[in-house]
Amino acid sequence: MINSERIVNTFIELSSIDGISGNELEIANLVIKKLTNLKCKVFMDNAGESFGGNSGNIIACFEGNISAESIFFSSHLDSIKTTKNIKHIITNGIIETDKTTILGGDDRAGIAIVLEILEVILENNIPHAPIEIIFTVCEEDGMHGSKNISKDSIKSKFGFVFDCQAFPGNYIVEAPGAVSFNAIFKGKSAHAAVSPEKGVNAIFIASKAISKLKLGRWDETGMLNIGIINGGEAINVVPDKVEIAGETRNADEKLLMNQINYIESTFKLSAQELKGEVEVKFNHKYGGYKFTGQEKMIQIASEAIRNSGMEPNPIKYSGGSDANIYNSNGIAALNLGVGFNNAHSFDEKIAIKDLVKTAEIGLNIIKLISFESKLLERDLHAN
């Protein structure tokens, strides 16, 4: 039922519009027009006001034609880098660019998939529960859009996010929470040639502290990274201040707290040993989650994947997404594999067959929920 030519054309149209985080208004207006044409009730919230963006989240309702509880589908509008002047190249069923821009498959592919599902439902008059559609803003820059969505604003008990670069058939059962940190190491300035012994080199303290850290991967979802270092005034001055910034992640809350304590204690011990000081601040960016596999949304997704001719594959994923925010806010959400590869790079690509297959999985989710509702209704009448 999925129209491969249409979904490709929709994806190309969507990814041709520049819409980096905080500047999604143009792509938002196009999506609003498309949703309206699909007979959805659409509105834009005020999420952009909370972070200085020019657009809010798009929230839409695709009314059901059977009596059933609603579900939601979600993707994000923004891209990590510009797609301005994008040149699409399709070779052997693979969509990519001329390597001068990213493709924007993360996550315009998700939007194209959701729109195609709605198109197919309408043109085939498929029985379906109400579907809430959430297209968020500023996902790439900290999931600011989804942070504006409360549990009370969503009627659905669970939903599905189309925003994982794993291939169709995969779904994320474990994803980490993330904590960023900022540390300011303080020493004592002095003339580096005339009286270096009077100084305390803050860069040396910071480098010693960093060298003691276990950087890189800790486990399947755990990691620690130092990404920014700033400090010093001149090459002939012992630096009295240096600032570093980094991030640590883990899906297990206790392990994440252990990593935070480890960073803080390592920094403070290094500063103390070298007669300096350090101030460390942590910022909890978003929470992690773990599913048991028994959740209803996972059971439905697994059967939908099988009905699409694939074997369901639960994965642990080290990246974050809007699903982290939804689950942290009590809105159950399962992130499904879409198949865009090399996300955030000029080598990004996606196979047409993966676009089609993911849309098929989403459509089968709708069919299964409708079938369940019919069985429930039949049993109620029988009793």
Chain segment 98-157, per-residue pLDDT in tens: 999 999 999 999 999 999 999 999 999 999 999 999 999 999 998 999 999 989 999 999
Q: Which of 131, 95, 120, 136 is nearest to 13 (CA)?
A: 95
pLDDT, position 172: 97
Give the chain's residues under pLDDT 50.
380
Q: Can you tell me the distance from the alpha carbon of 380 to that of 67, in angstroms, rounded to the nearest whole number? A: 13
Catalytic site residue from 24, 78, 116, 360: 78
pLDDT, position 67: 86
> Is 139 in the active site?
yes
Range 253-256, long-range pairs (CB < 8 A, 24+ positions):
253/177, 253/287, 253/288, 255/218, 255/219, 255/222, 256/176, 256/177, 256/179, 256/222, 256/288
- pLDDT over 90 percentage in the chain: 93
Backbone angles phi, psi at 352, to 5 degrees: -60, -40
Q: Are 122 and 368 in contact (CB under 8 A)?
A: no
Catalytic site residue from 96, 132, 139, 163: 139
List pLDDT tens digits, range 197-250: 999 999 999 999 999 999 999 998 999 999 999 999 999 999 999 999 999 999
pLDDT, position 44: 97
Q: How far is CA 146 from the centre of its chain?
A: 10
Options 3.40.30.10, 3.40.50.720, 3.40.50.1240, 3.40.630.10; CATH for 4-175+288-382 is 3.40.630.10
pLDDT, position 378: 53
- Kindly list the domain boundaries of the chain, sorted by start residue: 4-175+288-382, 177-286
The DSSP code sequence of 107-176 is HHHHHHHHHHHHHHHHHHT-----EEEEEES--TTTSTTGGG--GGG---SEEEEEEE-SPTTEEEEEE-
CATH class as words, domain 177-286:
alpha beta
Dihedral of CA atoms 110, 116, 118, 121 in degrees, nearest 10, equals -140
* Common-topology check for domains 4-175+288-382 and 177-286: no
Counts of helices then strands in the chain (DSSP H, E):
8, 19
Q: Can you tell me the distance from the alpha carbon of 128 to that of 8, in angstroms, rounded to the nearest whole number? A: 24
> Is 123 in the active site?
no
Q: Can you tell me the distance from the alpha carbon of 353 to that of 7, in angstroms, rounded to the nearest whole number? A: 10
CA distances from 44 to 142, 185, 266, 284, 330 (A): 19, 44, 46, 27, 22
pLDDT, position 370: 87
